[in-house]
Chain A
Amino acid sequence: MRRHAVLWSMILLAAVMLVPFVIVALNAVKTPAEYSTGGPLDLPSGISLEGIIAFWERVDFGEKLWNSVVISGSVAVLAVVVSVFNAYALGIGRVRGRLWILVVFLIANTLPQEALVYPLYFLANEVGLYDTKLAVIIIFTVIQAAFGTYLLTSTLGGFPRELLEAARIDGANKWQTLVRIVVPISRPTLGVLFVFFFIWTWNEFFLPLVLLISNENQTVPVALGVLQGQRMMDATMTSASALLGVIPAIVFFLIFQRALTRGITAGAVK
């Protein structure tokens, strides 16, 4: 009896969490006429892609997707590389003052972006990188790598010393040891970091909003947020836009769920 009460309350909770997604999906495939007569709750009579196509063309959604992929993909790769270099020096090399260096990285990770935004905006203007994807890529590489350095340093701190010693005896220099021994063995952790960096960068809003002012450079969240702010879309187009924003997130979620769950655990228990 009580078992089922708990089960049903959990199912109810899950349903409540999913309702917004369902409502969005339902209305994204309605025609505007259907929406105005039946409201948001009626089941659609068929699948109409009108709203989705109208929205796609209006914002050139393919371009926004591509921008997001380029920015998130570059940041994920570069931030993993930078994190590995930093953590190699701090976790394995144990350079002097590593504790304080780590604290600086940790602080960099907790700083609110509001405290960086105006100088970054100003400096990007000065060096001619304002409103370019490159500026956003560089900035987020550093922000994500600050976290990656912190996490990887503790992982590499426990790296088996015998392997490093064996590589040294075989005549490998530091670079070769890093590329041939440390990176291949740490690949699972690096994979999790890559996934995290990709999704986090994909979801970023504040700095891209400020730095990517022209349409052709905007990422998916920025383009959607700006359009929403202008309040110029009808209801079906709004839900179409929300659906198109949700789909990539759900795709990542399904592809990466294993890595995500593993990674969250790794991050939680330092």
Chain B
Amino acid sequence: MSLVPTSIRDRGSYLLFLIPGGLLLLAVILVPFGMNIGISFTEWSGAGTPEWIGLDNYTRLMGDGTFWASFRHNVGLVVAMAVLPTLAGLVIAAALFDFIGKHFGARHAAVLRACVYLPQVLPIAVAGIVWSWILAPQDGALNEVLRAVGLDSLAQNWLGDPDLALWTVMGVLLWIQVGYPVVIFMAGMQRVDPSLHEAAELDGASWWGRFFHVTVPQIRPEIFVVLLTCTIAALKVFAPIYVLTRGGPGGSTNVPSYYSFQNFFEKTQVGYGAAIATVLTVLILVLTTVFLRVQNRGER
């Protein structure tokens, strides 16, 4: 009985199982992605024949203020959806796991965690509707609250003021996002060997000392995963912008994904929209590669 030929024959028939998934991937993702890159080298209104213009769309992008502004806004969204939720999530998760869980019981910690996580299960479009109504300038709940407690001067046109709209959107996204790191970090903290904490405590480390020197280093893999997935999510943000501001007022909350959507379906500059989408894709792929590299190095 020779084992080698069997295993080679085995591989052949296992390949059959990859065919449906492979064909679907080709038809729905790989070919369309290739087409998108192709379209980005053309001028095309969506009807008729695309006209080849080489790199013109990309040179135009370089000088397009709206494009650059949309990326600047996106940096704000990365802060609101990746950086702040990770920082806040670490503190909240440690407080819930280490403090509430230990002194008041795991059940209390689980209920509080569920409250913080709840916005995550909402369709983002629905979260947008909830907030655009709460933030309405005239009879919105937030301004009503401010007036009710005598802070009339703080009542604002939250989403209608070009200087304020991006900050407001960032606040809404922080509310949506913060539950995700909390849940993941709490799961990670269960993995940490309790004796590390005990040893640190015996050495006289304060709660913050243990937080920085035991908890944070121990759950580094989770922190990486959260930072990467949240950053990518922030770069892809579309629905909150569509529902809350439509990129306005005056383009002050426009982001690349919404800008490409506008070019595709409102301005019918399909080639230009495809170029924006391609740049966004390259950025996301580069970021993913860099993150995975750093993560791998950290694990070694």
B18 close to A (CB within 8 Å) = yes
Contacting residues, chain B, for A235 (C-beta < 8 A): 133, 136, 139
Contact of A6 among B99, B191, B222, B257 (CB under 8 A): B99
Contacting residues, chain A, for B225 (C-beta < 8 A): 268
B130, A246: Cβ atoms closer than 8 Å: yes
A221, B126: Cβ atoms closer than 8 Å: yes
B270, A118: Cβ atoms closer than 8 Å: yes
* With contact pairs A143-B29, A241-B129 given, residues A89 and B284 touching in the complex (Cβ less than 8 Å): no
Contact of B129 among A27, A112, A242, A264 (CB under 8 A): A242
Distance of A118 Cα from B33 Cα, bound (Å): 9
* With contact pairs A111-B281, A221-B125, A253-B121 given, residues A210 and B30 touching in the complex (Cβ less than 8 Å): no
B17, A86: Cβ atoms closer than 8 Å: yes
Q: A residues 234-270 with Cβ under 8 Å of B?
A: 235, 238-239, 241-242, 245-246, 249-250, 252-253, 257, 261, 264-265, 268-269
Contacting residues, chain A, for B33 (C-beta < 8 A): 111, 115-116, 119
Q: Which residue of B lies closest to A114 (CB)?
A: B277
B288 close to A (CB within 8 Å) = yes
Contacting residues, chain A, for B134 (C-beta < 8 A): 20, 23, 40
Interface size on A, residues (CB 8 A): 92
Distance of A15 Cα from B226 Cα, bound (Å): 24
Q: B residues 14-45 with Cβ under 8 Å of A?
A: 14-18, 20-22, 24-25, 27-33, 35-36, 39
Contacting residues, chain A, for B226 (C-beta < 8 A): 268
A131 CB, nearest partner CB in chain B, Å: 14
Contacting residues, chain B, for A253 (C-beta < 8 A): 114, 118, 121
B141 close to A (CB within 8 Å) = yes
Q: B residues 32-86 with Cβ under 8 Å of A?
A: 32-33, 35-36, 39, 46
A118, B36: Cβ atoms closer than 8 Å: yes
B139, A39: Cβ atoms closer than 8 Å: yes
Distance of A96 Cα from B175 Cα, bound (Å): 45
Q: Which residue of A lies closest to B258 (CB)?
A: A114
Stretch at the interface among B162-170, B196-204, B208-216, B237-245: B237-245
Pair count A-B, CB < 8 A: 277
A92, B14: Cβ atoms closer than 8 Å: yes
A153 CB, nearest partner CB in chain B, Å: 11
A145, B246: Cβ atoms closer than 8 Å: no
Q: A residues 94-150 with Cβ under 8 Å of B?
A: 94-96, 101, 104-105, 107-108, 110-123, 138-139, 141-143, 145-146, 149
Distance of A9 Cα from B122 Cα, bound (Å): 24
Contact of A268 among B36, B112, B188, B277 (CB under 8 A): B188
* With contact pairs A13-B116, A257-B114 given, residues A114 and B175 touching in the complex (Cβ less than 8 Å): no
A20, B130: Cβ atoms closer than 8 Å: yes
A242, B133: Cβ atoms closer than 8 Å: yes
A112, B141: Cβ atoms closer than 8 Å: no
Distance of A208 Cα from B131 Cα, bound (Å): 22
Q: Which residue of A lies closest to B103 (CB)?
A: A3
Distance of A228 Cα from B243 Cα, bound (Å): 7
| Chain B 255-296: CB-based contact to A (< 8 A → 1; otherwise 0) | 011001100110000100110111011001100100000000
Interface SS of chain B: helix, strand, loop or mixed? Answer: helix
Contacting residues, chain B, for A113 (C-beta < 8 A): 236, 238
B191, A269: Cβ atoms closer than 8 Å: yes
Distance of A178 Cα from B13 Cα, bound (Å): 13
A232 close to B (CB within 8 Å) = no
A10, B100: Cβ atoms closer than 8 Å: yes
| Chain A 1-42: CB-based contact to B (< 8 A → 1; otherwise 0) | 001001101110111011011011001000000010001110
A180 close to B (CB within 8 Å) = no
Q: Which residue of A lies closest to B265 (CB)?
A: A210
A205 CB, nearest partner CB in chain B, Å: 4
Contact of B14 among A117, A174, A264 (CB under 8 A): A174
Distance of A2 Cα from B121 Cα, bound (Å): 32
B28, A142: Cβ atoms closer than 8 Å: yes
Known: A205-B242, A246-B126; 18 extra A-B contacts, CB below 8 A, are: A17-B118, A40-B141, A89-B17, A94-B11, A108-B25, A111-B281, A112-B236, A116-B28, A116-B33, A118-B35, A139-B28, A224-B129, A239-B133, A245-B122, A268-B187, A268-B221, A268-B222, A269-B191
Chain A residues with CB under 8 Å of chain B are 3, 6-7, 9-11, 13-15, 17-18, 20-21, 23-24, 27, 35, 39-41, 82-83, 85-86, 88-90, 92-96, 101, 104-105, 107-108, 110-123, 138-139, 141-143, 145-146, 149, 174, 178, 199, 202-203, 205-206, 209-210, 220-222, 224-225, 228-229, 235, 238-239, 241-242, 245-246, 249-250, 252-253, 257, 261, 264-265, 268-269
Q: Closest 9 interchain pairs by CB?
A: A93-B14, A245-B126, A119-B32, A14-B115, A119-B35, A221-B125, A205-B239, A221-B123, A142-B28
